């Protein structure tokens, strides 16, 4: 069939778009990997400072050549109950324990109480009444202890070592692995004042919306009166290697 003048014009325009796009891509310099501990842009808000992942760069987990970011085909994420929490950058590899809500704590402005804590300091907590890893929907709620003698799952340097772009793996009881990339970190914010605000403003207890993983642990200032930490660190991680 002989092409019409209109179809010829469309083909020429499409070819020009491809040429310009290729020139723009080749003309842009590759961005170097950010240094650990300083990744992401720091943004300030009423709920404290947070490290966030740049929107214009794929997380390191999506690049080839990193053993920790390339799960085997057999371990592809399938929805289920989490068995172990693995954070290679922190040397964490610990079993999960089911947790509920802290019924002794004051509820936030939306009437929700904070997460309870694992009974075993060496285990990670998972809120069993919330979303499960691999479902593709809702926020998977997890946490873990920090002890001054470093006998818990997390150490006092958690806030210094955790960084945007690091990988978190959740080994499932069904044998699969669900991996996440840290996309935002709040470092040692006030547990009483800032934590409830962040949970509400970021909708961290939502059971709807895209899947993500939420993790918290205490740290920062030690209160000798209450014999506990006054601060808490939080992070949000988004799924990688799905489909």
**pLDDT, tens digit, for every residue of 92-142?**
999 999 999 988 888 877 788 888 999 999 999 999 999 999 999 999 999
> Does 112 fall in a domain?
yes
Q: Which helix (H) or strand (E) holds 25?
A: helix 5-27
| Rg, Å, the chain Cα set | 22
Distance CA(232)–CA(143), nearest Å, equals 11
Q: How many domains does the chain contain in total?
A: 1
- Residue 101: give its domain's CATH number: 2.40.260.10
Would residue 3 be called left, alpha or beta, if left means φ above 0 and alpha means ψ between -120 and 50 degrees?
A: beta
Residue 5 β-bridge partners? none
Average pLDDT for residues 157-167, to the nearest whole number? 97
> Does 35 fall in a domain?
no
> Does 154 fall in a domain?
yes
User: Looking at beta carbons, which pairs linking 147-155 to residues 24 or more positions away fall under 8 Å?
Assistant: 147/121, 148/222, 151/121, 151/122, 152/121, 152/122, 153/85, 153/92, 153/94, 153/121, 153/122, 153/123, 153/124, 153/217, 154/90, 154/92, 154/217, 154/219, 155/90
Average pLDDT for residues 200-217, to the nearest whole number? 94
Which pLDDT tens digit goes with each residue over 17-63?
Answer: 333 333 333 333 323 233 333 322 222 222 344 677 654 333 433 33
pLDDT at 151 over 50: yes
Average pLDDT for residues 170-174, to the nearest whole number? 98
Distance CA(95)–CA(32), nearest Å, equals 35
Q: Which domain holds residue 162?
A: 45-53+75-240
Q: Which helix (H) or strand (E) holds 232?
A: strand 228-240
User: Is this prediction's pTM over 0.85?
Assistant: no
> Does 89 fall in a domain?
yes
Do residues 198 and 234 touch, judged by C-beta distance below 8 A?
A: yes
> Does 12 fall in a domain?
no
> Does 1 fall in a domain?
no
């Amino acid at each position: 069939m002989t092409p019409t003048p209109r179809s010829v014009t469309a083909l020429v325009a499409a070819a020009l778009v491809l040429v310009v796009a290729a020139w723009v891509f080749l003309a842009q310099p590759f961005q170097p990997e950010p240094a650990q501990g300083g990744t992401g842009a720091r943004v300030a808000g009423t709920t404290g400072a947070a490290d966030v992942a740049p929107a214009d760069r794929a997380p390191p987990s999506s690049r080839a050549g990193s053993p920790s970011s390339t799960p085997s085909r057999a371990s592809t994420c399938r929805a289920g109950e989490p068995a172990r929490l693995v954070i290679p950058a922190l040397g964490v590899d610990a079993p999960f324990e089911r947790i509920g809500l802290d019924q002794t704590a004051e509820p936030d402005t939306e009437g929700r109480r904070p997460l309870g804590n694992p009974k075993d300091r060496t285990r990670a907590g998972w809120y069993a009444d919330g979303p499960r890893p691999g479902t593709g929907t809702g926020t998977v709620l997890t946490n873990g202890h920090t002890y001054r003698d470093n006998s818990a799952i997390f150490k006092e340097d958690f806030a210094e070592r955790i960084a945007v772009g690091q990988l978190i793996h959740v080994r499932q009881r069904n044998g699969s692995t669900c991996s996440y990339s840290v996309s935002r970190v709040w470092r040692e914010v006030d547990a009483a004042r800032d934590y409830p605000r962040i949970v509400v403003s970021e909708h961290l207890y939502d059971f709807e919306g895209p899947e993500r993983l939420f993790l918290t642990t205490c740290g920062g200032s030690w209160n000798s009166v209450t014999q506990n930490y006054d601060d808490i660190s939080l992070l949000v991680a988004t799924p990688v290697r799905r489909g």
